[in-house]
Amino acid sequence: MNLIPNYQNKKILIVGLAKSGFYAAKLLHQLGAQVIVNDYKKLTADNPQVQELNSLNIKVITGSHPLSLLDDNIDLIVKNPGISYDNPLIKQAQIKHIPIITEPELAYEISEAPFICVTGTNGKTTTTTLIQLILDCNRSIGHAYKAGNIGIPAIKIAQQATNNDDIVVEMSSFQLMGITQLRPQIAVLTNIYEAHLDYHKTRANYIKAKMNITKNQTPADYFVVNFDQQEWQELAKQTNAQVVPFSRLNKTQAGAYQKGNYLYFKNEKIISVADLALPGQHNIENYLAAIAVAKIYGKSTADICQILTTFKGVKHRMQFVKKLAGRSIYNDSKATNIEATTVALQSFTQPVVLIAGGLDRGFTFDELIGPMKNVKAIVLYGETKKLMAATAQKAHISTIKLVDNLDEAVPLAWSLTSPGDILLLSPAAASWDQFKTFEERGDRFLSDIEKLGE
């Protein structure tokens, strides 16, 4: 870790505790800063994180975001990415011209290891994991670590990584809005669809946030980008880095691409699609992005194939749960938008009983009408259940059931399946109406599935 002097005696406000805020507070204290932590949720003094921070003489203020915190000559704010820039405290900080960053920026500043950063609407976590596994495969010196939006704060990993290591960081648009110096050696853009408009307000703002991943790159760096849509090809023109494209639709052969039943890098045949461990066209794109990064790093085709033929997927992302009484059960809780559920549905030719629903962000779901062609029944819950039911009617799904929550949805959906069917949780909506995270939602689904055998 680089013990940088930048924060010595600086007054720094951490807004939002969680894991990233906790590790940021401890690091900044170690670097000599005067740290205050503020969280909107009321936390008691016996909270383990609060206790540990208090033991370091770090002040923790919870239960609200008082504007008076900014009266103390704050030099910098480290903001939890989930907190909107419309938050009154954050808006007031902007008026006062107080710099605002997110935790990955701080992680980059102290890291000895180079960053490979991955963003996109869909496929981030799978791609991040594939890259990390390939770069770590048969490695003789150092390690490749994964971190970031994948659930492991980058700041935690950056403190232990050395210059012999690499850190593969999944980055959300929320995190990318708070970077100033972060410069990935390799930046990856998996795709961009319409998402998080409740946070970003416009698609243009969302794209701008995503493209921050390459804003500090130079011609010595690489920008690995999906070339399957013209819009994404145009975005590639904004970077100063070397563009390495990938394409499932064979739109380019300058990087990684699918041609027939094989995946290639430039003119080298890498692997047969039939040998890949994960199903689905969307996973082809994730594989191609990972192949491109691996080849930039000089990894052998043998190492790449070793991972691509054995990697079984990431929890909550088209996770195969089990086969039960002839039905195959999949947990795709990470499908927090229409595009993710679309690719999930398109992964199957068998009849599907779909469980969906979640936070209402103010839009309809009619884009799912076509992808729902194999859905024989649908069970809906949450704020969006009536909107989704209207879409299901337009898709001519004969069995449409509405319930209050996921616990009710699972056994009902199971009762609608037959041997050979797919039982799929792919919500097409965020989890925040009933769950704190998509992981919590997915874990509840897994728990409910286990009860089916009782």
Residue 60 sits at φ, ψ, to 5 deg, of -120, 120
214 is in an annotated binding site: no
21 is in an annotated binding site: no
Cβ pair 190, 289 in contact under 8 A: yes
Q: Taking every pair of C-alpha atoms in the chain, what is the biggest distance, in angstroms?
A: 66
Other C-beta atoms closer than 10 Å to the C-beta of 239 total 21
122 is in an annotated binding site: yes
As a whole number of angstroms, the distance between CA 180 and CA 169 comes to: 16
With a CB cutoff of 8 Å and minimum separation 6, the contacts of 48 are none
DSSP-derived letter for residue 5 is: S
H or E element in which residue 257 lies: strand 256-259
239 is in an annotated binding site: no
CA-wise closest residue to 143 among 154, 152, 134:
134
Q: How far is CA 242 from CA 239, 257, 286, 298, in A?
A: 8, 17, 20, 16
120 is in an annotated binding site: yes
Cβ pair 167, 161 in contact under 8 A: yes
16 is in an annotated binding site: no
DSSP-derived letter for residue 114 is: P
Other C-beta atoms closer than 10 Å to the C-beta of 238 total 12
Which residues participate in the annotated binding site? 120-126
Which residues participate in the annotated binding site for ATP? 120-126
